[in-house]
Amino acid sequence: MELFSAGNDRYRMLCRWGVGTLTADHFEPVVARGADFLDRMLGAPEWRPKIVPAGLQLASDRKCVLGQLYGDYGTGVERLRLTTGQEEAFGFHLPGSVQVQYAPANSWDVLTEAWRQELARV
């Protein structure tokens, strides 16, 4: 189940959001899926206290969600056996089209804020 599927579906989703209009709310369902995934894989709520929201930076390999859990992003992807589609669908990484073509310069900050909001919910 990918929020950003290949081809036209991805384009239509991004165009619906519009250039420069991304907010943490846009990423809320994606990040919620990521949190649910981590709950299933790592046990709820054991992983949550390991994340330091004030230091969270999704653009950083070491300060992102997987970086804080596994030491770096790549190790987290490997240990959880995530595909590129899953990385994007669970909010661990911006979809390629978003980061390159359609999103504002602060896209990583917006995704980071969505994770902070998710972490504050529980």
Token couple for 35: 């949190």
Q: Output the pLDDT for position 62.
A: 97
Cis peptide before 45 (omega within 30 of 0): yes
pLDDT score of 60: 93
- The Cα 47–Cα 44 span in angstroms is 7
Q: 59, 67 in Cβ contact below 8 A?
A: no
pTM: 0.78
* DSSP assigned state of 22: -
Residue ranges, the chain, pLDDT below 70: 1-21, 97-105
| Per-residue model confidence (pLDDT) at position 2 | 39
